[in-house]
A and B are shown apart, each in its own frame.
Chain A
């Protein structure tokens, strides 16, 4: 990279409301040749700049083979994300990226996949689900476990139902606080592992969500015989630059932006769960 790392102008093509606080923006680069796909690996992220307000890190949730468009699903939490929520089709943002290492999909080919996510953690594996379902014969079983605190936090409910009907795919959902129309389990997502058949010799686990959940899930999966190099997780830290310079996203000697955000468990085991790291 010898050029300045400038954002590129991107147009909002579509805005989808997923829940009262979560929305998806479908974006297209203004400068791209109209049929060029956005080149990224599922699990990578962009830095999205809202004019006049600021920049935030957002996972890319679409399939890399999508032409013209790429999607970001955003939870409204603060200044920039609230501003992003006000965008409408035709509005512009600046996009830098993609950054970081994505999920080990080449390694996962021919194996079973276990995706375990909590909260909006699902954003960083949704791209994997789309990727696998479009290339179904290249992968073994696909197990999707998703947990939310409140049943109404679950977004993409119709998609989960559709994914659950796909061949060789198992979808289990859990909510700490269920509502009357909730068909999933009551409790934490890690407990769903009790209801899943796992072949430790041919399963790659991809985990994303709150760090305490990740630690609990890893303990169960290791207990079920999955080797450390079959456990992958996506981590989050405050992030300013996206390319290893700003110093904000360090976890021990690791930089989430350039060494992650997807890490093998073996790489982060020493630092995971240490208070204040």
Chain B
């Protein structure tokens, strides 16, 4: 996914003081606006009532195993890099009722699909890596193998306002996976932030309708140049990288590498990496009592390949230790995905590196395991 060259975006300029017009255009169409806000000491998406709720100088400092909020001066609202949540929980909630079952008077079981809770949400501040991750979740939940009506309903109710990243965190490596820091695809409305305002351009027909409601002026060559320079600078600042080549045969050829055991000595098997990953989709099903007499509900909940029960078979776990569980996570994401989805499952967001309590760095582990022996 190459970044869309600036002329193709054909953006207009939205002065910062006129930003409320975007909120008004979204609210008029029935979208609640989720945007960056501080909660639980991280930047996450929360409902914003108006442009006045946007906080200038909101930022963060991230490194392996570490996340701190940081405030800077300056007018900007989008200088933060990704927090732990991203878009995944909006389309694939951590817990979801799939269906209800109750016996009828004649004993037959009656099954009812749970109507999905699919609020119309506009997400202000979707990042390039998260849009790439969402495109992968779309393929998984809406693809040929399986179609998920709840996911489809939530996804269709989203309006995505992408914002170019002008800053990279120390754990970001989207430039190497080809997924950022500039927006490429998957947004309804694209924004690039400058001190005095935003470049704004549509990505879809829905985005065009919203753009038509904005008091845009012509973007000056200075604006266009500054925006392009900012994403180039963010890419150049990244110090981590995942080889952009296909890693499938290199990883499948390294199933017995010593490094798996070495990482297992540090890995707690907590599954944080999979929970925060925008593309991890594993889940389990369980049956619980419903509210009505004799009613049962079938619940789907997030699960990870780090849980010993994930691979339980005949009284034991097929993946019977942390080394093979960590290996499963890495080989599925970076090797198996090529066969299943036509690309790697990593979009370079760096969350697994930041949120690992043991500060395990995926890029370092992969480099140690495949060296320079990738396929192409």
By a beta-carbon cutoff of 8 Å, the part of chain A in contact with chain B is 1-4, 6-9, 11, 30, 49, 51-55, 77, 90-94, 236-238, 240-241, 243-248, 250, 252-253, 255, 258, 270, 274-277
Contact = CB atoms under 8 A, between A and B. Distances in A.
Interface in B76-124: 98-99, 101, 103, 107-113
Given A6-B111, A7-B101, A238 B145 contact: no
B320 interface: yes
Interface string B318-330: 1111011101100
A253 B113 CA distance: 31
B285 A246 contact: yes
A240 B300 CA distance: 9
B28 interface: no
B336 A244 contact: no
Given A1-B146, A4-B150, A6-B113, 7 more contacts: A93-B109, A247-B281, A248-B311, A250-B328, A270-B252, A277-B324, A277-B328
A7 B111 contact: yes
B280 to A, nearest CB: 8
20 contacts: A1-B147, A4-B149, A7-B111, A52-B296, A77-B315, A94-B111, A237-B313, A238-B309, A238-B313, A240-B285, A244-B145, A244-B146, A245-B141, A245-B283, A252-B336, A270-B252, A276-B318, A276-B320, A276-B324, A276-B327
A215 to B, nearest CB: 15
Given A7-B109, A8-B111, A245-B146, A53 B287 contact: yes
Contacts of B99: 4, 6-7
B110 A9 contact: yes
Contacts of A4: 98-99, 113, 149-150
B258 interface: no
Contacts of B141: 245
Nearest to B147: A1
B4 interface: no
A11 B296 CA distance: 18
Contacts of A243: 145-146
B223 interface: no
Contacts of B320: 276
Contacts of A248: 282, 284, 303, 310-311
Q: Which 3 A-B pairs have the closest CB atoms?
A: A276-B324, A247-B282, A253-B339
Contact of A55 (B287, B325, B332): B287
Given A243-B145, A258-B145, A270-B252, A238 B318 contact: yes
Contacts of B285: 54-55, 240-241, 246
Contact of B328 (A53, A77, A270, A276): A276
A92 B283 contact: no
| Interface of B, helix, strand, loop or mixed by DSSP | mixed
A13 to B, nearest CB: 13
Contacts of B208: none
A190 to B, nearest CB: 19
B103 A253 contact: no
A150 to B, nearest CB: 16
A274 B101 CA distance: 40
A49 B101 contact: yes
A108 B357 CA distance: 54
Contacts of B252: 252, 270
Contacts of B17: none
B146 A94 contact: no
Most buried by A among B150, B287, B296, B320: B287
B148 A245 contact: yes
A253 B111 CA distance: 33
B335 interface: yes
Contact of B140 (A8, A49, A245): A245
Contact of A276 (B148, B286, B303, B319): B319
Nearest to A96: B111
Given A4-B113, A51-B103, A250 B319 contact: no
Contacts of B182: none
A53 B297 CA distance: 10
Interface in B243-265: 248, 252, 255
A51 B321 CA distance: 33
A2 to B, nearest CB: 6
A233 to B, nearest CB: 15
Contacts of A49: 101, 287, 298
A15 to B, nearest CB: 16
B312 interface: yes
Contacts of A55: 285, 287, 298
